[in-house]
């Protein structure tokens, strides 16, 4: 069993899409091990997106993910990291395939509904940031 971290971002929560998004992970046979709705601190957001610090979009990203509640989750299952990333879809909703969360529900790049860990190592680090 593999574990990964997924966060439903403020735009999805504000649009009332959290339940539909969670269902997609469950429909894929994955298990939601932990889940909580919270407002992120700037420190948590900064630690999560540290690899982007100094890039032109960094400040806007931090402002965005701390702008409202998010749903943070630990999801498990065989190949959970890869499956979650495929379910979420390409970063830019305009380029995301139909059938993916971003392809079906996303509107713009800057508010792209969800974050999913890109590796088992990232999942472990991100889970530590958000769940201790």
- 52 as an active site residue: the answer is no
Residue 5 to residue 41: CA distance in whole angstroms: 17
Q: Provide φ and ψ at 82, rounded to 5°.
A: -65, -45
Q: Which string of DSSP letters, residue by residue, matches 82-121?
A: HHHHHHH--SSTTTSPTTSHHHHH--BTTB-SEEE-SSHH
- The pLDDT tens digits of the residues spanning 44-100 come to 999 999 999 999 999 999 999 999 999 999 999 999 999 999 999 999 999 999 999
pTM of the predicted protein model: 0.94
**CATH topology classification for 2-38+70-131:** Alpha-Beta Plaits (3.30.70)
> Of residues 3, 9, 72, 115, which has the active-site annotation?
115
- CB-side exposure of 71: number of CA atoms within 13 Å? 20
Measured in residues, the chain has a length of 132
């Amino acid at each position: 069993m593999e574990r990964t971290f997924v966060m439903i971002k403020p735009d999805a929560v504000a649009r009332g899409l959290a339940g539909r998004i969670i269902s997609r992970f469950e429909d894929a046979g994955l298990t939601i091990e932990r889940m909580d709705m919270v407002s992120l601190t700037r420190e948590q957001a900064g630690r999560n997106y540290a690899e982007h610090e100094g890039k032109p979009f960094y400040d806007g990203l931090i402002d965005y993910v701390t702008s409202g509640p998010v749903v943070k989750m630990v999801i498990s299952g065989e190949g959970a990291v890869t499956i979650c990333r495929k379910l979420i879809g390409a970063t830019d909703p305009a380029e995301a395939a139909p059938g993916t969360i971003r392809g079906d529900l996303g509107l713009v790049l800057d508010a792209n509904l969800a974050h999913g860990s890109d590796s088992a190592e990232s999942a472990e680090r991100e889970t530590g940031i958000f769940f201790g």
